[in-house]
Amino acid sequence: MQREEMSEATESKALQRLVTDLSAAHGENLESITLYGSNASGKQTDAHSDHNVLVVLRRIAFDDLRLSQKATRTWRNAGQPPPVFFTVDELKSAADVFPIEFLQMEKARNVLYGSDPFEFVEISRANLRHQTEYELRTKFIQLRRLYVSESLSVANLSALMIDSFASFAALFRAVLILHDQESPVLNADAVRRTVSLLGLDGTPFEWILERRAGKASPATESDVNNIFAAYIAQIARVIDEVDRIERL
């Protein structure tokens, strides 16, 4: 389904409908609903930005999932991603497993209903370093593997880099936090700050950003392959840097 680019008015109406539908479906079982990520920061986002929602329930049984399916139908029909569901206890106990995801939620969030779900969640630096390196290496290996099948197509190889950009930007935020740096909400800012901090070559990242913004000039097969080579080289440098961070 083609995702809608929401205007401010449409976004507000859609979120209000989602809150109303979830509240009606779950009643007292509903603890909180939170919009998180770049769209919760109040800053302008690009066309690739989703409206991410965290729903916290007191319990999640099979019937609760069925109720959620019906309550989120209008939201999903608008092309928005389905909400992430946690119980209150899961949210507290899973911080050691999902430190990056929870930091993203904690960094930029707008509580739409109920209490702040991150009021009592603690995130370990050691767990953050471990997940950051694991995710970087996993995505790096996947990117390298996919290159083999996409390298002869300018469009496919460009799309591969563009599609991977947001995932690496999220991980770069974690790298900044591990270096005790401010972690920007927007992907472009997070990547540029990481480039500056680690002394990376920002050329491949700027090339991708131009294409995400639809401002790119035509590129040849050789051009795109050279950019990809620079892209993975800089990501490898980030991985090496994370690997050198003291393991607590």
Average pLDDT, 10 consecutive residues per value, the chain (248 residues): 47 87 96 86 56 94 94 90 94 88 83 90 88 96 95 93 95 94 90 97 96 86 95 98 79
* 29 & 75 share domain: yes
Of the candidates 166, 160, 168, the one whose C-alpha atom is nearest the C-alpha of residue 224 is 160
Query: What is the pLDDT at residue 146?
Result: 96
Are 242 and 132 spatial neighbours (Cβ–Cβ below 8 Å)? yes
Query: What is the pLDDT at residue 168?
Result: 97
Query: What is the pLDDT at residue 247?
Result: 54
CATH number of residue 64's parent domain: 3.30.460.10
Whether 1 is in a domain gets the answer: no
Query: What is the pLDDT at residue 238?
Result: 98
Are 25 and 101 spatial neighbours (Cβ–Cβ below 8 Å)? no
Query: What is the pLDDT at residue 3?
Result: 41
Query: What is the pLDDT at residue 245?
Result: 87
The pTM is what? Answer: 0.70
Query: What is the pLDDT at residue 4?
Result: 44
Whether 34 is in a domain gets the answer: yes
User: Which residue range is the domain that position 150 belongs to?
Assistant: 125-244
- Pairing between strand 84-87 and 52-57? parallel
Are 54 and 81 spatial neighbours (Cβ–Cβ below 8 Å)? no
Which position has the token pair 């050279």? 226
Query: What is the pLDDT at residue 49?
Result: 59
* 26 & 97 share domain: yes
Q: Which of the listed residues 93, 114, 135 is the one where a domain comes to its end?
A: 114
Q: Which of the listed residues 60, 90, 114 is the one where a domain comes to its end?
A: 114
Domains in the chain, number: 2
Query: What is the pLDDT at residue 217?
Result: 81
In sequence order, what are the beta bridge partners of 110? 35
The 10 Å Cβ neighbour count of residue 111 is 17
User: For the purposes of burial, counting CB atoms within 10 Å of the CB of 202, is it exposed (0-12), middle (13-18) or buried (19 or more)?
Assistant: middle
